[in-house]
Structure 1
Amino acid sequence: MRKRLQERLVTLTGLITLEVALAGLFFLLAFGVFFYLTRIVFVQHSTAFDNWAFGQLDALRAATPGLTDWVRGITFFASMPFLVAAALLIPGFLLWRQQRREALMVFLAVVGATVFNQLLKLHFQRTRPSSALIPQPGLSFPSGHAMIGSSLYAALAWLAWRHGQRGVAVGLLVWAALIGLTRVYLHVHYATDVTAGFAAGIVWMLVLRTILRWRRGLGQPG
């Protein structure tokens, strides 16, 4: 019995160490990508990547005109009305299921990313593309749809993964990436805005998971 317990502890320690190492690696990569993009956009003033992305998606739109209506529908699923509803209804459902920690994570994923995104936009003060296909107020860098949407769907993907629904988890992450592409397709964001939004969303989710794990380790409820 004692030997079996020791083996389980060793296995658990190894998993925790691997998880921490992977989280740290993803944090550094995401932070590095975000920092690199700020250099590209605000120091070097390079538009090569943005122009290339616009060109690719403009060609797609020209080849398939009916796609635009679908893109408008997809982009709604990270719009502010949708995110507000998701931040209230999904945690409410999880609380009803007695899943307090999960409810808190989803709520903070959206609210924290929203606050963080607005602070970043106010700092960088990048205006939106003048060629936008739909009216869109506000600043451009980083994309809120990409950053807040990826935070929400990453939180839901984590919940799905924990319950063994690996395909659903991957699908949610792909869906978040697709939403980001719609912003470039509609010319309401540059590709650098969207990429930076994804990177910042990853950073926020890793910080949030660390905080919640630390809080749980202190014996706080939830």
Structure 2
Amino acid sequence: MKKKIPYKVLIPFILLFAFFLITTYSVLRGYTLSVDRLIVENIAAFHTDLLTKMMRFFSFIGATRPVIVISLLFLGVIYLKYRRLQDVILFALVSLGSVTLNVVLKMTIKRERPESSLIVESGYSYPSAHTMAAVSLYGMIIYLLWKHTSTVTARIILITFGVSMILMIAFSRIYLGVHYASDIIGGVLLSSLWLLISLSIFQRYRKKEKKKSTQKDTC
């Protein structure tokens, strides 16, 4: 007899999906545009040369090529150290899924980027690809390193690093004027939902594999 999934376990999935739908609907209807523009304008008032250089750096490492390089380096180290091919496959599937979702939504919604920006960007605005890539990449780094991190201090440092990278990459896109705040919010919600679904399926798969392995050992 299959165990029923407790309702409480589904709450994070439901909330993320609901907030993403609300955000997307609000963007499509233009409800967020005035606030989005106001945020971009207010942030522009605090532009400095030093801050702009910092934001350009975080925006750069959140771009496709640097993300691929960081991912490959991380996966190489993880595999050589722990020899877990399943982790590599999971990482790849999460990353590819995030990219696919982003491309499909961008081409479906076709939201134009803000009128003025500090850097030149092509493509549509909603949701933010940089933000989705950051959530997937650093979310997976936290997940894969968590089980190999034994101390509380090390885990706090790991979470702080991962969350900080996501926030800085996301904020850099608004600062540079290539995304609205709602693009960032939509990206965080969708990528977090995808990450949560992927990890949940993976965890259930691993439990089944362990159960099968235990049953074989007892036979």
Both proteins in one fold, TM over 0.5: yes
- Of the three residues 40, 57, 62, the one matched with 1:73 is 57
Which stretches of structure 1, 4 residues or longer, exceed 6 Å deviation after superposition?
none
The separation in 2 between residues aligned to 1:85 and 1:71, in whole angstroms, is 20
Counterpart position of 1:83: 67
The separation in 1 between residues aligned to 2:65 and 2:13, in whole angstroms, is 29
**What amino acid is the match of 1:192?**
S
Shift of 1:44: 4.2
The separation in 2 between residues aligned to 1:110 and 1:153, in whole angstroms, is 11
Q: Alpha carbons of 1:86 and 1:66: their partners in 2 closer, same or farther (altered >3 Å)? A: closer
Q: Alpha carbons of 1:71 and 1:145: their partners in 2 closer, same or farther (altered >3 Å)? A: same
Q: Alpha carbons of 1:56 and 1:28: their partners in 2 closer, same or farther (altered >3 Å)? A: farther
**What amino acid is the match of 1:196?**
G
The separation in 2 between residues aligned to 1:32 and 1:146, in whole angstroms, is 19
* TM-score w.r.t. length of structure 1: 0.82
Q: Point out where structure 2 has 5 or more consecutive residues left out of the alignment.
A: 213-219
Shift of 1:199: 0.5
- Greater alpha carbon shift after TM alignment, 190-199 vs 78-87: 78-87
The separation in 1 between residues aligned to 2:15 and 2:37, in whole angstroms, is 24
Counterpart position of 1:58: 44
* Structure with higher RCO (Cα < 8 A, 6+ apart): 2
Counterpart position of 1:196: 186
* TM-score w.r.t. length of structure 2: 0.83
**Conservation of the 8 A alpha-carbon contact between 1:75 and 1:179:** yes
The separation in 2 between residues aligned to 1:33 and 1:49, in whole angstroms, is 17
Identical counterparts, % of pairs: 27
Quote the RMSD (CA, aligned, Å).
2.2
Asked whether 1:183 is paired with 2:173, we answer: yes
Provide Cα deviations, 1:159-190, integer angstroms capped at 9, x if missing partner: 33322332222221121011100000011111
Q: Point out where structure 1 has 5 or more consecutive residues left out of the alignment.
A: 1-15
SS across alignment from 1:146: helix
**Conservation of the 8 A alpha-carbon contact between 1:117 and 1:148:** no
The separation in 2 between residues aligned to 1:175 and 1:29, in whole angstroms, is 24
**Conservation of the 8 A alpha-carbon contact between 1:54 and 1:185:** yes
Aligned length: 201
